[in-house]
Amino acid sequence: MSAPAVTITGMGLLTPVGRGVETVYGALLHGRSGIVKPPADHPVANSVELAGILPPIDPGKIASGPDGKVMDRTVILAQLAAADALADAGLLIGDDRGRAGEELDNVDPDRIGVIIGGVGGMATLEQQVLARAVRGRAAVSPYLLTGILPNMPAARVAIRFGLRGYTSSVGTACASGAQAIADAVRLIRSGEADIVLCGASEAPLFPTFAETFANARALARGWDDPAEASRPFDLRRNGFVLSEGAALLVLESAEHAAARNAPGYADVVGYGVNSDAHHPTAPRPDGQGAAACMRRAFASGAVRPEQVGYVNAHGTSTKLGDVAESVAIGLAFGDHQPAVSSTKALTGHMLGTSGVVEAAATALAVNTGQVPPTYHLDDPDPACPVDHVRKEPREIRLEYALSNSFGFGGQNVSLLLGAASTPEKRVPRVGTTDQQ
């Protein structure tokens, strides 16, 4: 018996280029960057030259009263993304601040899972350590643990919306969000869940976390125009741009979605997850680990490489990473080379969240036939010999597409996406650069 098809029926995207499916995808197609010089009053103003900062949000909608004082920003962002994703999937009714369980209609909360990746509440930890250094033991909050534990975004989302199925966090660095999606596919295929809300939430824009990357000289620097600083695969690239964001997808068995008349954006057809087993921070330069991961995704979806027309690359804009991924794509695809682009040119690197936003962008490329380019790729590095989509979107009728995410420790995840299996397809209106 074949595994059930797994369809994306909802997206909640909070990114530096905007919020919501059409706004984000429109920005990625048409080149609206979310990278800025941090304003003087921002926590990282003296730590980094550039950052991808979210548009203003109202945390009061999620974290009002005493509870809000102990809720890390990662949790607030996760809950906002969850509300957006559930509403987009047609799973919210009435006020999204209703009590747990009141928002769900025609579904079983015991069969809805939550998997959210990320590094946890590191900003809360930094604040508490500084407070203790100044004021001593009395300054340490009894709520510290619920502020910093990496499972809190998933737990708080489950509590808020009354989702009583399998709940977990994923901590595989920058591959966390993509691995949450892979884990969700496994749950649905195994019959353990009908629906899984999955993705990542990251709030890394605070001094200590940002400065570790700055001191390692991993961040882009020396750019007069912030929008040009993130330039994956370009000869002039000199590092990535650290960004914040949260993104959650509603994954659902196509049969369950059809039963409630929910249209799908695209299917997650297969996935690959493996390890380079090479180095704590550097990718394998020969690309063998990442190539094997892509091949696992093909095998998982019973798809041949030549059926895959597009790769949304991890493409962070680092010297080593972009070259290693390009080599890996060449190994995995052989004579058939797909179109390749990196949307981090506009969003910067949202750590674990990046893989979720990029999976969403890949799903939308399959859905609409419009592939977002790598902006600011003026002079492609000869060491990255792939079929770059650059300067403007490319129209491609895609049978399948791949989204890559790689993380420290040699974590590799590749997600294979194809057309939605639901009777009704969800085709978004392509946004424009002036949408907010």
| Catalytic center residues | 174, 314, 349
Tally of residues, the chain: 436
Nearest-angstrom CA–CA distance, 199 and 422: 22
Nearest-angstrom CA–CA distance, 27 and 29: 5
Nearest-angstrom CA–CA distance, 38 and 99: 37
User: Which residue's entry shows tokens 């604040």?
Assistant: 127
The torsion defined by the Cα of 260, 261, 263 and 269, in degrees rounded to 10, comes to 50
CA 426 to chain centre: 20
* Secondary-structure percent of the chain, ordered helix, strand, coil, rounded to 5: 35, 20, 40
> Do strands 195-202 and 245-253 pair parallel, antiparallel, or not at all (unpaired)?
antiparallel
The torsion defined by the Cα of 20, 26, 31 and 35, in degrees rounded to 10, comes to 0
